[in-house]
Structure 1
């Protein structure tokens, strides 16, 4: 399937897609698991990736067999992640070039399952904040991903039809959200070996095909 040419807007996830925040989250999650006497690896990461802070903490509480401790674990994880993000987060390969190519050709936005403070910090630390005037975080909707609310909110904010819009996602949770909202979904998995239910998949935003596609959008508009 060819990449779509009649595109009304492009909406990006943030964590693990535009910005290498998953490294920050993994260090924080590893520390939290160690505090409770557990190791942290790919199996544990798969339980958490793409979730909100609160739903990740509930999954951790279940894993630790600590019923009712979700809120306390969420607070601790929040503090650990905040420390990691404050130390810096880099834009992932190809992110700046692709977003820059799209700007001015089609409307663009960020739709993230993270809270506003984390999203703003990640975009600022990676040097991408200046490229986006529309950023949607989990506080902006009634239901987080995998519900479609974030993508629907982003498309509404941009004034575009979701059915003519493209989403970039790195996790199954995000893909489910974008698909439920009716967008064409391009996957760039952040976990090695992950297969996502998307229309097209790439190993990196730096793939030359994506940059060529982005640079050509809007050229034939009347």
Structure 2
């Protein structure tokens, strides 16, 4: 970890939300499975892999193609958002170590959350996990012209944090997010949701409670 910035520390940290800070992927899976089932279609690992990390619009577009409903993306997106929000509000939990990691990091550097979810769903997830008040900067997919995997979200987050991308650190769990952060030129620590996939982050860890990660951050000067 200490070699990530050539002996320096990052000047800001940007966290993904779904699957990284909040265990919302099962919530998305419930909603996605329901939409496939309503059309008599199975929803398995391959279908799930094609959805992870996508924005609501991109996921709806993929579903429309899978359903043979090329004109139905907008309706599918509305249906998906309604179902996911219901499940997230009732059942989503913070990932193990998420609150502790954000608190520790925020004591040293400015932090932000950058999510491919719409703002309303992002807020619902953060409130459910007790994380909302920890982030002075929040950025959602419906607040940028091009969500992940485009780099705009990370470039915008860096601008809001008043830091150059080269001086920022990101945490991501999906290939979609990884492509976004890479294209923005931000260093990334990966905590992949799908453990079987190749995940070419700068460092890959198994959980937010990684001992080496926490020891590194504890060594940063406090603000």
CA distance in 2, matches of 1:3, 1:216: 14
Counterpart residue number, 1:7: 10
Shift of 1:138: 1.0
TM-score calculated relative to the size of structure 2 = 0.95
**Alignment partners' CA distance in 2, 1:207 and 1:195:** 19
Number of matched pairs: 220
Q: Structure 2 regions of 5+ residues with no counterpart? A: none
Deviation at 1:89, TM superposition (A): 1.3
Equivalent residue, structure 1, for 2:107: 104
In the alignment, is residue 59 of structure 1 matched against residue 62 of structure 2?
Answer: yes
RMSD of the alignment, in Å?
1.4
1:36 matched to 2:22: no
Deviation at 1:82, TM superposition (A): 1.3
> Which residues of 2 match residues 10-159 of structure 1 at below 5 A?
10-159=13-162
Displacement after TM superposition at 1:3 (Å):
3.6
Moved over 4 A (4+): none
1:20-51 CA deviation, whole Å, 9 max, x = no partner?
Answer: 01111011101111111111111001111111
SS in 1 for 2:75: helix
Tell whether the 8 Å contact from 2:4 to 2:187 is kept in structure 1 after alignment. no
The correspondence for 1:205, drawn from 192, 205, 208, is 208
Give the TM-score of the pair, scaled to structure 1: 0.95
Select 2:186's aligned residue among 170, 183, 186.
183
Q: How far off is 1:203 after superposition?
A: 1.2
Aligned-partner Cα distance in 1 for 2:42–2:206: 28
Taking the aligned partners of 2:73 and 2:142, their CA distance within structure 1 comes to: 19
